[in-house]
Each structure stands twice: as structure tokens, then as C-alpha cells.
Amino acid sequence: MSHQRRQVRRVMLIDLNWRHTGYLAAALHEAGFATLLVSTGQPDRIGLGQYCRQINSPYRASPQYVPFIRAQIADFRPDWIIPLCEPLLELFWTLDPPCPAPLYPPTETWQRDIVLDRRRLYDFATAAGIPIAPWQPINELSALDLAISRFGLPLVIRGTSGFSGDQVRIVESLTHARTAFEEMKRISPHPPFAQAFVRGERQLIGGVFFNGEMIRLFAQEVIEGYPPQTGPSIRVRSLHDHKLECHTRTLFRALRWSGIASADFIHDETGNSVLMEVNPRPWGSIEVAERNGAEICRTFARMLAGEPIDPQIPYENGVECLVPEAFLLAYRQPGIWSTLRKLEPGDLWGCASALPWSRPRLTLHVLRRLYRAW
């Protein structure tokens, strides 16, 4: 399939030092883009510098952050600005005065309201016929007793936004629920809510979309996450699941989304795939999709450039992969040798085989990040 060619050659990526941004930067470079990465991470001139220019930014909470970003936009004059996480998306969507360069993905207010508020997402998904876990608002502590009576324990206390599980707490008692509720009140942009706990396997399915049409997809089962149950994936297995794919196509078609995005599901004990959340940006373990041949980042870069897109590329089912940086951070001990002694020989081989060896400079970048993480 092909799309109308766009004269887009300058892209500004804005992130908070994510490990997977290097894969996207490499793909954009290979598609002919001049790319500027503005990040809170330290520049890597030798590895990542092969693919993009890098500028170290203030932290998101700093009063200097927005003026700094505006100065970089004025200097670089990008054709597209791509914020790479929800807090940055929300920031750019609400800038006053508005951002002077086009944002990707292009969105309307109703789309932004859905992806930034889980309550609206669940209502939207229900209307589209996609299973969700029952939930109810929690406006005060006394409502927790009713939620526990209705849903039982364990119970999930959620904020309305967040990413990487930072606004999700699984509680085992009323006392724990009260603590989680107070915590969510402090960090959630809207009143938190309670949700029934769904037992099952975590699944993630993501891809590249154009006006709701899925151009590429990759699905995975989470074997191990950190923190367990709610944290980012550190060990996954590639997955083919027709029902999961149908739910995802239905959801993003109704949302009319463009760009890279993913959805998290729980494959419950009855065989249903229950929607948990939508991530309107590249997901943390997208490197697994790249290694399995799904070419998510390359496809996005070609789409942005207006190049022809090949049909869906099949990927192998049931391939187990580690996410090296996330995995090693989860098992980190004081000192590199203490960490290595804690790992099994198969884990070390899994980390080594997960590196992007076909791109030597990207491999060097990943290794430098691993070293800095220790």
C-alpha cells in the first residue's frame, strides 16, 4: 500500500531518555530524515550520533523546559515534532501559544481525550464492543468498601493516565486500598477509580496505523515484568492471536489513529482478551518487534516519508526474547559483577542475542546505556 508523498525531511524527537528511542532514530535516519533528539539523557555521540543529532534538555518539571524546547524548534525548524510519552504528548497538546510546528500524530480533541483518560477509553471501548474489566469511580475513601464488596480482592486502584504502570496499584486489603487511593489522588490528573482484578496472562499488541488502518502489527505475551503484574516487560514471547488482533483493529479503527501505538490486554481464564490500556506512542519493548522482523519503526519511517508500504510481514510465533536494559535493571545488584553472578548463563546469552548486531552503532548505543545503568 502507498500514501501520498509528503515533503517531510526534518523530525524532532522529544523524549525522557527512553531506551527504545534509538531504534526509531535509526529507522528515521535510514529513511532519509534529518533527526534531532531532544532528551533528558546524556548525548551519545559515537553510537546514537550515527543516526541523529542530540541535545540534552532540562527535566520536564523545570520552568525552563518549555522555553528551551521552543528555542530548539525555532532553530531546527522541524517538519514534524514527535513527543514519545504521554506526559510530553499532553504538554504539547495543551501548549499556549500552540506549538509552532506540526505534531505527530495529528489528532483531534476527542482522540486526545480518550487516550489521556482511561475512564473515557473504557467507555469508548465498550461502545466498540471490546471487553473491559468492570470499574467504578472512587471519589472518597468510604467508596472503597463498596468497591471491595462489588469486585472482591485483590482490587486494582487506577489513576486516569500514567505510563509504565506508574498509576496502577493492585491491593490485597482495605488498608492497602486506602493507601493506594491517597497515592493516586496525588498523582492522577482526575479522580482515581477502582477496577476488578482480572487473572490471566498479560498481552501487548502494537503496530503502525494510518487513519485507523493497521499497517503493521506485532503481538507478545509478557512472561515476566518488573515490577510484577504492572511494570514494563522484561521477558516476552511473540504471539499470534486472532481474537486479540480483531479487538485491536476494531479499537484503533474507531479511534482513527495514525502513527505507532499499542494496547495492553489480559487474556483471562475464560479465554477473553480484556483491554487494560492504550499507549499512543512507541511501547517500551518495541525492540522485540524489530528483532522478530515486524519492522515497526522502519514501517513508520517509510510511512512518514510517504514511501510505499509492503503488506504485513509475517513474524514467527512463540519466540522468547529478553528486553536487555529493562531485564538487567530488574536484576541489578550493587556493582556489575554482583549483577552478573545473580544471572543464569541463559540470561546472559539472551541479553547478548537481543542486541541489534545488524546495526553496529545502535548496538554500541545499547551497550553504553547498559554500562551507564550499572
Task: Check whether 115 has a pLDDT greater than 60.
Answer: yes
CATH superfamily of this structure's domain 134-196: ATP-grasp fold, A domain (3.30.1490.20)
Confidence of residue 1 (pLDDT cuts 50, 70, 90): very low
250-to-19, 104, 247, 287, 346 alpha-carbon distances in Å: 30, 22, 5, 25, 39
Under a CB-based contact definition with an 8 Å cutoff, are residues 200 and 206 in contact?
no
Q: What is the pLDDT of residue 2?
A: 46
d(CA 117, CA 193): 11
DSSP state of 236: E
Under a CB-based contact definition with an 8 Å cutoff, are residues 281 and 85 in contact?
yes
CA angle in degrees (0–180, nearest 5) for 332-334-340: 55
Q: What is the pLDDT of residue 15?
A: 95
Q: What is the pLDDT of residue 370?
A: 84
User: Span 241-248, mean pLDDT?
Assistant: 96
d(CA 365, CA 374): 15
Count CB neighbours of 43 within 10 A: 14
Confidence of residue 374 (pLDDT cuts 50, 70, 90): low
Say whether 242 sits in a helix, a strand or coil.
Answer: helix
CA angle in degrees (0–180, nearest 5) for 329-331-332: 60
Task: Check whether 257 has a pLDDT greater than 60.
Answer: yes
User: Span 156-185, mean pLDDT?
Assistant: 93
Task: Check whether 207 has a pLDDT greater than 80.
Answer: yes
Task: Check whether 265 has a pLDDT greater than 50.
Answer: yes
DSSP state of 50: G
d(CA 142, CA 34): 55
User: Span 307-321, mean pLDDT?
Assistant: 91
Mind listing the pLDDT tens digit for each residue in 42-71?
999 999 999 999 999 999 999 999 999 999
Q: What is the pLDDT of residue 337?
A: 66
Q: What is the pLDDT of residue 6?
A: 45
43-to-51, 256, 283, 365 alpha-carbon distances in Å: 12, 35, 22, 10
Q: Which residues contact 142 (CB under 8 A, 6 or more apart)?
A: none
Question: Over the chain, what is the mean pLDDT?
Answer: 93
Question: DSSP states of 164-218 as a string?
Answer: TTTTEEEESSHHHHHHHHHHHHHH-SS--EEEE---EEEEEEEEEEETTEEEEEE
d(CA 225, CA 251): 25
Task: Check whether 346 has a pLDDT greater than 60.
Answer: yes
Beta bridge partners of 322: 235
Q: What is the pLDDT of residue 200?
A: 96
User: Span 302-321, mean pLDDT?
Assistant: 92
Confidence of residue 5 (pLDDT cuts 50, 70, 90): very low
> Position 81: which residue type?
I
CATH class held by domain 200-373? alpha beta
Q: Where in the chain is the domain with CATH 3.40.50.720?
A: 10-104
* C-alpha grid cell, residue 326: 529493562
Q: What is the pLDDT of residue 336?
A: 66
Task: Check whether 36 has a pLDDT greater than 50.
Answer: yes
Q: What is the pLDDT of residue 164?
A: 78
* C-alpha grid cell, residue 325: 536494559
145-149, 151-155, 261-265, 368-372: segment of lowest average pLDDT: 368-372
* C-alpha grid cell, residue 120: 473515557
Confidence of residue 310 (pLDDT cuts 50, 70, 90): confident
Ramachandran angles phi, psi of 132, nearest 5°: -130, 165
User: Span 339-358, mean pLDDT?
Assistant: 87
Task: Check whether 358 has a pLDDT greater than 60.
Answer: yes
CATH class held by domain 10-104? alpha beta
Say whether 38 sits in a helix, a strand or coil.
Answer: strand
Q: Where in the chain is the domain with CATH 3.30.1490.20?
A: 134-196
User: Span 291-316, mean pLDDT?
Assistant: 92
| Helix (H), strand (E), coil (C) string for 110-173 | HHHHHHCCHHHHHHHHHHCCCCECCEEECCCCCHHHHHHHHHCCCEEEECCCCCCCCCEEEECC
Task: Check whether 328 has a pLDDT greater than 90.
Answer: no
Task: Check whether 101 has a pLDDT greater than 50.
Answer: yes
139-143, 309-313, 346-350, 364-368: segment of lowest average pLDDT: 309-313
CA angle in degrees (0–180, nearest 5) for 231-234-240: 100
Q: What is the pLDDT of residue 3?
A: 47
Mind listing the pLDDT tens digit for each residue in 213-243?
999 999 999 999 998 888 889 999 999 999 9
